[in-house]
Amino acid sequence: MKYQYNSRRKRLSKLLLALLLIGLVIAGGVFLARKYYFDSLTAVSQSQKSVNVVIPAGSSLGDVAKILKDSDLIRNEWAFRQYVRNQQLQDKIQAGTYAIRPSQNVEQIVVIITEGKISSKLVTITPGQRIDQVEQTLINSGFDPEATAKALDPKTYPKHPALVDKPAKASLEGYLYPESFQRTAETTPSEIIEASLDEMAKVLTPEMRKSFSKKGLTTHQAIILASMAEKEVDSLEDRRKVVQVFLSRLDQDKKLESDATAIYGAILAGEEPSVTFDSSYNTYLHPGLPPGPISNASKEAMLAVASPAKTDWLYFVSGDDGKTYFSKTLEEHEKLTELYCKQKCAVN
């Protein structure tokens, strides 16, 4: 009995010793992990030389961490992300251009980018914006309304290469390329618009203009089609198909019957969005292209016009499920509309 008792004591002692060792290992691991985490939050150096860092609009927390790590401003991306999440600040990060020093630790850097302590702001013109929406974007960014209105006057840019094919009386609708532009205290709205036109000129390469011409389109007409594709559907593949539908209908003297152009015409007249309001932009009522673009257009939309799909479709409808349905006949189109477009097609 005594032997068994001693044996049990030895086994128990070994078990307790093993548990103690495991506990020490875990505690040591936790200690080292915490030390690594907090060490990773310290400044990377003592340098006081500022580094300009651009955080684009729409950047995720991971994007921001990578930008800072690539700029040698933080030690570890994971630790930065963890710190921001612990502080529940992941939704507070603001786009802009920041001047950050390597001598600043993660806590200081996070304060800078969440409180908007920027060296210059980003003004973002988004794809599919109408010119009045661009105007409001500039005003909301702090620009003077009168100076903004002047900046949107085409006469401000008489010889800009992006505007060489723009009809004399046409506005800048459709010609403002969607992009984010840096703004300092000295930046004027005209400089933002000129930068947007500069980007548009880069997209409108001689090769692209030649592609438009081969399809019997002027650059202005191509921009009109691109703006329609921009507003009608989202993907490049669908835009190429939609452009082909419009081109085929033009070739067959069929009305384009675009909801996007009709709605634009109603909004332009100060009316509620409608596909029945009679305006020169209502392509259900008037043949041919509308008088001008209905929004700005992304590079994808421009490429869709330069290289449309090769199909024999004449109709399309954007479904409530986010998919686009194409058809050859009116009968097929009406069936697809009834099946897939109950909410979107309720606009009248």
Residue 181 has pLDDT above 90, yes or no: no
Going through the chain in order, the beta strands assigned E by DSSP cover 51-55, 96-100, 121-124, 180-183, 315-318, 324-327
Nearest to 113 by CA among 53, 185, 63: 53
Tally of residues, the chain: 348
- Residue 182, strand partner residues: 122
pLDDT of residue 23: 66
Residue percentage of the chain with pLDDT more than 90: 73
Residue percentage of the chain with pLDDT more than 70: 90
- The position carrying tokens 């010889």 is 159
Residue 198 has pLDDT above 60, yes or no: yes
Going along the chain from its start, the domains and CATH numbers come out as 51-119 (3.30.1490.480), 122-203 (no CATH), 206-346 (no CATH)
Under a CB-based contact definition with an 8 Å cutoff, are residues 287 and 280 in contact?
Answer: no
In 10 A of CB 289, how many CB atoms? 20
pLDDT of residue 226: 98
Confidence band of 265 (pLDDT split at 50, 70, 90): very high
pLDDT digits (tens, 9 = 90+) for 70-104: 999 999 999 999 999 999 999 999 988 888 999 99
What is the mean predicted confidence (pLDDT) over 17-28? 67
pLDDT of residue 57: 80
Confidence band of 9 (pLDDT split at 50, 70, 90): low
State the Cα–Cα distance between residues 192 and 198, nearest whole angstrom. 10
pLDDT of residue 322: 87
Residue 222 has pLDDT above 60, yes or no: yes
What is the mean predicted confidence (pLDDT) over 328-339? 94
State the Cα–Cα distance between residues 86 and 341, nearest whole angstrom. 44
State the Cα–Cα distance between residues 75 and 137, nearest whole angstrom. 36
Q: Mean pLDDT of all residues in the chain?
A: 90
Confidence band of 16 (pLDDT split at 50, 70, 90): low
pLDDT digits (tens, 9 = 90+) for 128-177: 999 999 999 999 888 999 999 999 999 999 999 999 999 999 999 999 99
Which H/E stretch holds residue 239?
helix 236-251
Residue 10 has pLDDT above 80, yes or no: no
Q: Is 98 helix (H, G, I), strand (E, B) or coil?
A: strand
